[in-house]
Amino acid sequence: MSRNDVSLIAIANAAGVSQMTVSRALSNKPGVSRARREEILRIAAEMGYVVNRTEQKSSSRRSHVIGLVTAELHNPFVSELVAGVGRAARTAGYELLVYSLVEPDQPPLPRVIKLMQQVIDGIIALLPYEHSYLEVLADARVPIITVDQYGRFVRFPSIAADSYAGACMAVRHLLGLGHRRIAFLTGDERLASAQDRHRAYLDTLTQAGIAIDPQLIIPGNYSLPRGQSAVKTLLTLPDRPTAVFAANDMSAIGVVAGLREAGLRLPDEMSVIGFDDIPGAAQCHPALTTIRQPIQQMGRSAVNTLLALIAGLEAASPQIVLPTELVVRASTGVPM
């Protein structure tokens, strides 16, 4: 959904108010109660609306630069998300300054956060591990939101895709093709996204009346090499599965590479589904069936929510969870 698709009329309809009220709320003009403004902003953010530059409250104190703190640019999903945030920021008349940590589990340095705050209006945090936030970001004097990390940081509003519902879709897709022995390669279980996808795998199989076989659950860490090495475990199981759900695309691409090296034909001898829809998923051979995270929309919602906070509004909803979708390509099929 492009920004132009979301008109004031649509927001007004969804919020049950007039277009004028929406316009006032978005531009932070008087005449709208605080509660109503928050509600309208929340609805607008959910609809992927980016505050237009001309609608923003002008303030000479603002730099119109957003800080983005991220654990690792060097990861296809993260770099897609950063690009999405950058495009949304630019559309709203903002630029991005990115502070990228060298080690994903390193906390941001307080001195750098402090320096950044001299020149930015707010922070989007894209940090996977909870301890990264403690102490450092709590002291920030500018608004903060988190992306791709939900259910934990009640202190900060957050934007994420629905990992649980997406993973349910992935498993249901395999069930629908006739698979009954479905392996699961877990993600990094320290992360909420990995926990949600794991829970969805267990719940969906259970709801389908299929008993959980712990042998089919292989510990992963969202990385390509771990996906590749998981294939050994998969192929030595006494009762081999016919399909694998890998908790993200990187590890799914590793599984595909490992299976091909072992001489298996995909999807005839094994179906593989991933999660994220990074660019590499479509380029993989066979092209990877996956669950698409709405990266563009996550970027827009993140920027919009942050701009609302910068404008002095409180986020009415502490969490925005965006829907995912199934993208069927060539790596899944009916079992032989």
Residue numbers at the binding site for a copy of itself (CB under 8 A): 63-65, 72-74, 79-80, 82-83, 86-87, 89-90, 95-100, 102, 109, 111-112, 115-116, 118-119, 224, 253, 257, 260, 280, 283, 285
The smaller minimum CB distance to a copy of itself, of residues 115 and 212, is found at 115
Beta bridge partners of 160: 321
Task: Encode 56-88: b = buried (16+ Cβ within 10 Å), e = exposed.
Answer: beeeeeeeeebbbbbbbeebbbbbbbbebbbbb
CB-based contacts of 141-148 (< 8 A; 24+ apart in sequence)? 141/117, 142/67, 142/117, 142/310, 143/306, 143/309, 143/310, 145/302, 145/305, 145/306, 145/309, 145/315, 147/81, 147/85, 147/298, 147/302, 148/81, 148/193, 148/298
The smaller minimum CB distance to a copy of itself, of residues 60 and 236, is found at 60
How far apart are CB 37 and a copy of itself at their closest, in Å?
29
The smaller minimum CB distance to a copy of itself, of residues 27 and 79, is found at 79
292 phi, psi to nearest 5 deg? -85, 125
The smaller minimum CB distance to a copy of itself, of residues 36 and 64, is found at 64
The smaller minimum CB distance to a copy of itself, of residues 181 and 260, is found at 260
How far apart are CB 134 and a copy of itself at their closest, in Å?
19
Q: What's the rounded Cα separation, in Å, for the pair 15 and 11?
A: 6
How far apart are CB 106 and a copy of itself at their closest, in Å?
9
The smaller minimum CB distance to a copy of itself, of residues 204 and 301, is found at 301
CA angle 124, 11, 29 (to 5 degrees): 70
How far apart are CB 235 and a copy of itself at their closest, in Å?
19
Q: Are strands 325-327 and 290-292 parallel, antiparallel or unpaired?
A: antiparallel
How far apart are CB 245 and a copy of itself at their closest, in Å?
21
- For residue 264, which of 246, 242, 291 has the smallest C-alpha distance? 242
How far apart are CB 142 and a copy of itself at their closest, in Å?
14
How far apart are CB 77 and a copy of itself at their closest, in Å?
12
CA angle 244, 247, 250 (to 5 degrees): 95
The smaller minimum CB distance to a copy of itself, of residues 71 and 316, is found at 71
